[in-house]
């Protein structure tokens, strides 16, 4: 296989670890805290997870212990959900940890995500295979998938696979839903009196799997740096051509962490945060008015160009649009969806909804551009939800802003020129070469997952904390999966899930945006972060996200 120069250089990179994880196992102590409980729905969760609820938080510290096993282990690892930069280093760290514990230990990759566990599709990962993927992007070493292990036959099949491979433990690398699955799988094994451990690892570029113990999910740092480079390039182009307004949609259906981080890195003219839109009950017209206000004022200053950042899930946070989507989700039965798919004329497709949704919802649907209305009527995802990534919100806003500006020009309130261009950055950031931060963080998470297994723990999520400090000062350990859960309504029923972390409107990152956005709306204040730096001074190539810096150190770190 021919390698690029960057590939060769990244293979040679040695990820840095928390100092405690560099010690011999005999020199590492396992410190247990008090019993834990979930923030809400404690009685329901305790009944569902009778074997694992209430376990203590654990931290690894330097000190003689003698309780970490050094016997040969067989461990399976799977990658669940969408790709995120650094996944290969999690597997590399887990592999190296196992070999550090005992050279006879084995690591199996469960191929194509949870399906590999259910269907017994496994690949023995040896050192030569691992070495081909160190510090590289993607999940292609074993693939990923979105299969949910939730049916009795799937749990039984998972147990059969684990027994067939002789597994002592399974590591599930994924987001909130995947790690909820991990908790159920751990509980199932204990209920069957089978000593197979299950450890989770926090992954999602959306950044919504975090709390006081999970400071960042892996991949967020790299993805935001990748998107910010692209945004910075467009900012430079906009300031060069001086004739386009660029509307840039970014990953993040349920939370706006990516959009907020990219705004702090690039300083666009306008940045919408979905959580604020919902909190303030902004209508779609208010969103449009916010953009138009900046367009008009910048045009008055001779600047007929600008940058607008839009979270992927914005349309679901606008109350009137959320109500419309909910009505459509209820109305679009399989038979109606099939009938809609047979109609080519988009107007006729919309008209078919007459009498099937409320008059108000139908009027709103009919007021939208036909291509956007058609996108709202597309097939739902496996959970019955609209596929917001396929809705071109950026083009909807360009259309609505253009019409509003036409009215303002007719009344003499706008004298500029408006030309909008739409972009969506999603897949561009999911498989990048991980940044130095993510390379170190993910390798540490993998090594830490081995430590949790060696400590005999199950139903834990591996965590590395103190991430704004140098890597040697990072703190390794684990938190019980059940302490992060609550009960939510999903697909018409109440289910235990790990709670998603949304942008906190009283948090330091959002307050940093608020402090500057009025200025950015009028002035051309763009920053150009450039490409991810792998080599150079630490302040250039080893910095973490501004979100993490602000959350850990306060708003004084923002400049």
More confident site: 177 or 107: 107
pTM across the whole model: 0.93
* Mean pLDDT to the nearest integer, 82-88: 96
pLDDT band at 555 (very low <50, low <70, confident <90, very high): very low
Q: Is pLDDT above 80 for 490?
A: no
CA distance 515 to 512: 5
pLDDT at 557 over 60: no
Helix or strand (DSSP H, E) at 240: helix 220-241
Is residue 76 within 8 Å of 114, Cβ to Cβ? no
pLDDT of residue 347: 87
Q: What is the mean pLDDT of residues 146-160?
A: 95
Q: Provide CATH 3.40.50.450 ranges for the chain.
A: 5-219+434-490
> Mean pLDDT over residues 225-248, rounded?
98
The Cα 151–Cα 167 span in angstroms is 21
Of 174, 151, 164, which is closest to residue 108 (Cα–Cα)? Answer: 164
pLDDT band, very low/low/confident/very high, at 559 (cuts 50, 70, 90): very low
Looking at the predicted structure, is the pLDDT value of residue 290 above 80?
yes
* Pairs from 281-290 (Cβ < 8 Å, separation ≥ 24): 281/319, 282/318, 282/319, 283/318, 283/319, 283/320, 284/318, 284/320, 284/321, 284/400, 285/400, 287/314, 287/318, 287/397, 288/397, 288/400, 288/401, 288/404, 289/404
pLDDT in the model for residue 553:
74
**Residue 181: left (phi > 0), alpha (psi -120 to 50), or beta?**
alpha
Residue 491 has pLDDT above 90, yes or no: no
- Portion of the chain with pLDDT greater than 90, in percent: 77
Q: State the pLDDT confidence band at 380, using cuts at 50, 70 and 90.
A: low
* 376: confidence class by pLDDT, cuts 50, 70, 90: confident
Top pLDDT among 335 and 419 is at 419
Computed over every residue of the chain, the mean pLDDT equals: 93
pLDDT for 498-537, tens place per residue?
Answer: 988 999 999 999 999 999 999 999 999 999 999 999 999 9
Whether domain 220-430+506-557 has CATH 3.40.50.460: the reply is: yes
Task: Say yes or no to pLDDT of 333 above 90.
Answer: no
pLDDT higher than threshold 80 for residue 343: yes
pLDDT at 10 over 80: yes
pLDDT confidence of 558, banded at 50, 70, 90? very low
Average pLDDT on 55-83 reads 94
How confident is residue 330, by pLDDT bands cut at 50, 70 and 90? confident
What's the rounded mean pLDDT across residues 102-112?
A: 98
In this prediction, residue 388 carries a pLDDT of 72
Is domain 5-219+434-490 in CATH 3.40.50.450, yes or no? yes
Report, as an integer, the average pLDDT of 460-478: 96
3-state DSSP call for residue 536?
A: coil
Q: How far apart (Å, rounded) are the C-alpha atoms in residues 449 and 272?
A: 37
* SS3 call for 554: coil
pLDDT at 382 over 60: no
In tens, the pLDDT along 117-135 reads: 999 999 999 999 999 999 9
- Whether the per-residue pLDDT at 438 is higher than 60: the answer is yes
Contact 229, 214 (CB under 8 A): no
pLDDT for 304 equals: 98
Residue 390 — pLDDT band, cuts 50, 70, 90? confident
Check residue 188 and give its pLDDT.
97
Q: What percent of the chain has pLDDT over 70?
A: 97
Catalogue the active-site residues.
206
209-231 pLDDT per residue, tens: 998 899 999 999 999 999 999 99
Q: SS3 of 330, please?
A: helix
pLDDT value at 57 more than 70: yes
Greatest alpha-carbon pair distance for the chain in Å reads 80
| Three-state DSSP string of 83-124 | CCCCHHHHHHHHHHHHHHHCCCCEEEEECCCHHHHHHCCEEE
Nearest-angstrom CA–CA distance, 211 and 92 = 26
Q: What is the pLDDT of residue 556?
A: 42
Helices (H) and strands (E) in the chain, counts: 22, 16
CA distance 86 to 135: 7
Copy the structure tokens of residue 97: 């940890």
Higher pLDDT, 491 or 136: 136
Mean per-residue pLDDT, 341-359: 86
Q: What are phi and psi of 336, to 5 degrees?
A: -70, -40
Greater model confidence, 374 or 198: 198
Q: Residues of CATH 3.40.50.460 domain(s) within the chain?
A: 220-430+506-557
> Does residue 217 sit in helix, strand or coil?
coil
């Amino acid at each position: 296989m021919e390698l690029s120069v960057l590939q060769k250089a990244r293979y040679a990179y040695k990820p840095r670890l928390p100092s405690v994880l560099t010690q011999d196992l005999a020199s590492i102590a396992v410190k247990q805290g008090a019993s834990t409980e979930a923030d809400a729905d404690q009685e329901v969760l305790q009944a569902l997870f009778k074997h694992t609820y209430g376990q203590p938080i654990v931290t690894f510290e330097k000190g003689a212990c003698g309780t970490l096993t050094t016997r040969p282990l067989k461990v399976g690892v799977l990658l669940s959900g969408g790709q995120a930069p650094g996944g290969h280093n999690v597997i590399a760290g887990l592999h190296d940890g196992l070999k550090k514990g005992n050279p006879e230990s084995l690591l199996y990759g469960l191929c194509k995500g949870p399906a590999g566990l259910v269907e017994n599709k496994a690949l023995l990962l040896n050192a030569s295979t691992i070495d081909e993927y160190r510090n590289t992007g993607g999940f292609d070493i074993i693939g990923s998938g979105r299969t949910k292990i939730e049916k009795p036959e799937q749990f039984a099949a998972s147990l059969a696979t684990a027994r067939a491979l002789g597994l002592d433990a399974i590591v599930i690398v994924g987001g909130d839903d995947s790690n909820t699955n991990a908790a159920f799988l751990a509980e199932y094994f204990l209920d069957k009196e089978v000593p197979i451990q299950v450890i989770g690892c926090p992954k999602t570029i959306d950044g919504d799997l975090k709390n006081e113990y999970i400071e960042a999910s892996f991949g967020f740092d790299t993805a935001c740096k990748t998107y910010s480079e692209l945004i910075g390039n467009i900012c430079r182009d906009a300031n060069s051509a001086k004739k386009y307004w660029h509307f840039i949609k970014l990953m993040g259906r349920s939370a706006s962490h990516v959009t907020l981080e990219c705004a702090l890195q690039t300083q666009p003219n306008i940045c919408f945060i979905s959580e604020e839109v919902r909190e303030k009950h902004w209508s779609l017209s208010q969103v449009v008015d916010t953009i138009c206000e900046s367009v008009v004022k910048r045009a008055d200053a001779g600047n007929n160009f600008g940058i607008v950042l839009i979270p992927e899930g914005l349309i679901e946070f606008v109350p009137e649009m959320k109500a419309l989507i909910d009505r459509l989700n209820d109305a679009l039965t399989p038979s109606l969806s099939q009938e809609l798919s047979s109609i080519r004329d988009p107007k006729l497709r919309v008209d078919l909804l007459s009498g099937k949704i409320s008059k108000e919802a139908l009027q709103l649907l009919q007021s939208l551009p036909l291509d956007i209305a058609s996108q709202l009527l597309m097939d739902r995802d496996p959970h019955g939800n609209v596929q917001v990534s396929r809705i071109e919100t950026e083009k909807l806003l360009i259309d609505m802003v253009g019409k509003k500006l036409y009215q303002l020009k007719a009344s003499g309130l706008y004298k500029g020129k408006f030309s909008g261009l739409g972009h969506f950055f999603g897949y561009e950031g999911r498989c990048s070469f991980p940044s130095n931060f993510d390379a170190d963080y993910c390798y540490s998470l993998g090594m830490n997952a081995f430590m949790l297994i060696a400590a005999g723990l199950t139903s834990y999520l591996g965590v590395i904390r103190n991430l704004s400090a140098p890597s040697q000062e990072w703190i390794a350990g684990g938190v019980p999966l059940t302490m992060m859960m609550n009960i939510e309504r999903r697909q018409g029923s109440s289910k235990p899930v790990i709670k998603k972390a949304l942008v906190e409107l009283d948090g330091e990152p959002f307050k940093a945006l608020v402090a500057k956005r009025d200025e950015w709306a009028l002035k051309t204040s763009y920053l150009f972060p450039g490409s991810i730096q792998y080599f150079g001074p630490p302040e250039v190539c080893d910095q973490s996200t501004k979100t993490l810096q602000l959350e850990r150190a306060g708003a004084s770190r923002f400049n």
